[in-house]
Amino acid sequence: MGRLDEEAIAQLMRAAITGDREAYRRFFENITPMLDNMLRTMSPSLPSDLREDIVQETLTSIHAKRHTWRQDKAILPWVYAIARYRLIDFLRREKRSPTMSIDLESGSFDDWAHPRKDTSALRHDLEQGIRNLNPQTEAVVRAMGVEGKDAKQIGTELGISENAARIAFHRGLKKLRAFLSESYQER
């Protein structure tokens, strides 16, 4: 079954609240893997069996507290807040009688929904984006953007006019921006 987007999930919950059992079942089918993903992000060191337990507890809380969701607001921040609360509650209980070392990543719903890539991943993407440019544009972007040379110098080295170097640089940056934006959305 394909994953539904946030608005579709919200629609399922709206229907469920009016008594649509089938919509509610589909809501749980879609939200369960999302919860697993949320908890994995919040606490990467959490063992999978415990993560499953917290998913179940979160589903129970979602059912018990579904009347607290404002139907005109996004649903995933609400779900995330409940999952985080259940995880923190579990970690507090665990702290009282620790059986293992489990961490809670500091982060918010925005961090989960729009994860930032780390520096090395960005560097890799940047390099790949530059290599995707045609050879002349690649040379100009490396020379101006990376090595810090000016348009006149590059024009002389590559046998093109100063103006042509500047245009190639701006076109290269535009293509690079589009490439990075596409690879970020794919995440």
Query: Which of 9, 16, 42, 141 is the binder for other proteins (CB under 8 A)?
Result: 16
Q: Between residue 116 and residue 175, which ones bind other proteins under the rule CB under 8 A?
A: none
Q: Are 14 and 71 in contact (CB under 8 A)?
A: yes
- For residue 76, with 0-12 CB atoms within 10 Å meaning exposed, 13-18 middle and 19 or more buried, which class applies? middle
Count Cβ atoms below 10 Å from residue 137 Cβ, excluding itself: 20
Closer residue to other proteins, CB minimum distance, 86 or 137:
86
Q: Are 94 and 45 in contact (CB under 8 A)?
A: no
| Amino acid at site 74 | A
Closer residue to other proteins, CB minimum distance, 79 or 140:
79
Asked whether position 28 contacts other proteins by CB under 8 A, the answer is yes
Q: How far is the CB of 85 from other proteins (least distance, A)?
A: 5
Q: Between residue 55 and residue 114, which ones bind other proteins under the rule CB under 8 A?
A: 56, 59-61, 63-70, 77-78, 80-82, 84-85, 89, 109
Q: How far is the CB of 134 from other proteins (least distance, A)?
A: 47
Which tokens go with 131? 């290599």
| Amino acid at site 164 | A
> Distance from first CA to last CA of the chain, Å, rounded?
20
Using DSSP's 3-state secondary structure scheme, residue 118 falls into coil
Instruction: State the DSSP code for 67.
Output: G
Q: How far is the CB of 115 from other proteins (least distance, A)?
A: 19
Q: How far is the CB of 6 from other proteins (least distance, A)?
A: 13
Query: Which of 7, 25, 157, 163 is the binder for other proteins (CB under 8 A)?
Result: 25
Asked whether position 37 contacts other proteins by CB under 8 A, the answer is no
Nearest to 17 by CA among 68, 73, 78, 80: 68
Number of residues this chain uses to bind other proteins (CB under 8 A): 32
In the complex, the residues that contact other proteins under the rule CB under 8 A are: 16-25, 28, 56, 59-61, 63-70, 77-78, 80-82, 84-85, 89, 109
